[in-house]
Amino acid sequence: MEQQDVVGIAAALDGLTEHWSPKVVARVNDQYVKVAKLLGELVWHAHDDEDELFLVVSGRLRIQLEGRDEVRLGPGELFVVPRGVRHNPIAEEEVRIVLVETVTTAHTGSVVVERTRSIEEQLGR
């Protein structure tokens, strides 16, 4: 990631080879902007102190939320999962997204699964 470069979202997404493996493409203040490809289901988890923004670029994303109706996002739609709310993203087809989340946010919260990616992996280090 080069902070001061122009980032093409489609090109960054095209560069991803793995599902559920976000890559950092920019930083704005204390937030990372990431791109990811999703397919299937991640895992129920929460981020106790951090909101997480999902913006769908292509495909349709379901986000199951504890204690309320799931949300469904199509291209050009965004949703912020509030801090502390357990959630589970589900992509029945391949979904390409942009994420905005605090630099300290752990991928799957306190839940660690095979798909969990460290921030070093997300930074491509």
Residue ranges in contact with its own copies by CB under 8 A = 3-10, 25-31, 33, 50-53, 55, 68, 71-73, 76-80, 82, 100-102
Q: Between 77 and 93, whose beta carbon lies closer to its own copies? A: 77
CB of 8 to its own copies, least distance (A): 5
Let me know: does 79 contact 71? Beta carbons within 8 Å: yes
Which of 46, 50, 53 lies closest to 80, judged by CA?
Answer: 53
Distance CA 34, CA 96 (A): 11
CB of 23 to its own copies, least distance (A): 14
Which of 89, 79, 27, 24 lies closest to 54, judged by CA?
Answer: 79
Q: Between 27 and 92, whose beta carbon lies closer to its own copies? A: 27
